[in-house]
Amino acid sequence: MAGDSINISLLGAGTVGGGVWRVITEAEDIAKKVGAEISIRHVLIKDMSELEGDDVGLDRALVTTDPDVALGDPEVDIVVELIGGIRPALDFILRAIADGKHVVTANKELMADHGAEILDAAEAKGVDVRFEASVGGGIPIIHPLKESLAANRITRVMGIVNGTTNYVLSQMTDEWCTLEEALGEAKELGYSEADPSADLSGRDAAAKATILASIAFNTRMTSEEVYTEGIYDVTADDIAYAAEIGYVIKLIALAQEVDGDLDVRVHPMMIPMMHPLAPVGGPYNAIFVEGDAVGEVMFFGQGAGRMPTASSVVGDVYDVARDIRNGCPGRLGCTCFREHSIRPIGDVHSAFYIRMTAADRPGVLAKIADAFGKHQVSLASVIQKESSGMAAELIFLTHETREKDLRDSLGVVSELEVIRQVDNVIRVAPQLG
């Protein structure tokens, strides 16, 4: 630390990096808020051509393409990693920690799959690692879970944590358009990357589910352990039928404790219309938390984008600066002191929405109901849509059932000669509370 200032190295000057540059250089009263001025000493970019896209007026004198310059400066107190991806971000972060520097990152993939290694290294060196921006963009959620809600035994965290898919599903709901059409609009509006596969496949949400579950349940896990389905199979028909029976379809990251196991998954989910997550539309994110004392709380806001993400990153920088100024780095470290086994998806209990196409003739329903019944799958409701030609579309809602039983029963049902095909199966949200 040089003089009164806390110095940072910014790794990455893309969308979020530019936002962080803007927030820090334009901020007033930082010293009054955290007890020290904050200066950016280095901005690491991969290639000088990146400067062509600079729209925030980066100080060219601070820009470098040499990681040794950005990481090797002993005057730097905090390394802010905004490169994304695993390599070289992980190496840079571990090097910074080894040198006794503090770290702020927005990197969800990295924290989901290498969080344990990073946090262990930080604890050994007594430095801070903060990652509020890795989940929910500008929404404060990691700090509230670790601090304000720390007195609770958390029982469930359930959230809309991917803005792209939420925008796409909202558009499909509001405009009755196809996924492709909605995705085209999302790209035009900047809500979607050029390659949206990490969003549509649920992989992005799974990384966030991993981080949320780790913190909420004080348990280390990796995103490979999260059962993940994307939104590719959701159709405008499913959305319309869901609405008829009082539900909206959202891509949900769910983590809950069930008899001592963790049930952590990401998939499209039927959300009752009166649920607080139901009206969360467009590119917004929202995270719903249930705890034994607090009951239900929800956090809502912009889950991505330059400035909201920069808000969380710089909030973390201030937090680390306070720890440095007050001589208490490491004050809020890793809180994963428990172990839970992850419940396999086959053993998870849910209610299910099932859409299938069957022959339109008497006795069909009885045969299907019988096949379900033999596998302990109890039906809550059945809707037969108007038939076209010889086929009828059937919508079933089951009571809560073990996923393996549901799958077994569907195996039998789909073999019935009256069944053309099982079109889609979507899990229903767990009951509140």
Near a second copy by CB under 8 A: residue from 39, 311, 350, 398 = 311
Stretch near a second copy under the rule CB under 8 A, chosen from 200-208, 230-238, 308-316, 400-408:
308-316
Q: Which two tokens stand for residue 5?
A: 């200032």
Decide if 146 is catalytic: no
Q: Which of residues 138 and 202 has its CB atom nearest to a second copy in the complex? A: 138
Left if phi > 0, otherwise alpha if psi is -120 to 50, otherwise beta: which for 268?
A: beta
1 forms part of the interface with a second copy (CB under 8 A): no
| Token digits of residue 150 | 């720390």
Contacting a second copy within 277-306 (CB under 8 A): 279, 291-302, 305
Helix (H) or strand (E) holding 426: strand 419-428
DSSP 276-310: TTTT--TTEEEEEEEETTTEEEEEEEE-SSHHHHH
Tell me the C-alpha distance between 393 and 334, whole Å. 51
Instruction: Please give the residues from 327 up to 356 whose contact with a second copy meets the rule CB under 8 A.
Output: 327-328, 330-332, 335, 337-338
Decide: is 212 part of the binding site for a second copy (CB under 8 A). no
Using the rule CB under 8 A, is 381 a contact of a second copy? no
Quote the strand ranges of 99-226, DSSP E.
102-105, 129-130, 154-160
Contact assessment for residue 82 and residue 17, using Cβ atoms and an 8 Å cutoff: yes
Give residues with Cβ within 8 angstroms of 325, minimum separation 6: 6, 34, 35, 36
Contacting range for a second copy; rule: CB under 8 A; set: 54-62, 146-154, 156-164, 390-398: 146-154
The one segment of 29-37, 84-92, 116-124, 175-183 that binds a second copy by CB under 8 A: 29-37
Count the residues of the shown chain that bind a second copy, applying the rule CB under 8 A: 61
Within positions 105 to 144, which residues make up the interface with a second copy, using CB under 8 A?
Answer: 132, 138-140, 143-144
Q: Which stretch binds a second copy (CB under 8 A): 183-191, 247-255, 311-319, 410-418?
A: 311-319
CA distance 368 to 312: 51
Stated as kind and residue range, the H or E segment containing 359 is strand 349-359
Residues that bind a second copy (CB under 8 A): 19, 23-24, 27-29, 32-34, 132, 138-140, 143-144, 147-153, 218, 276, 279, 291-302, 305, 307-308, 310-319, 322-323, 326-328, 330-332, 335, 337-338
Catalytic residues: 208
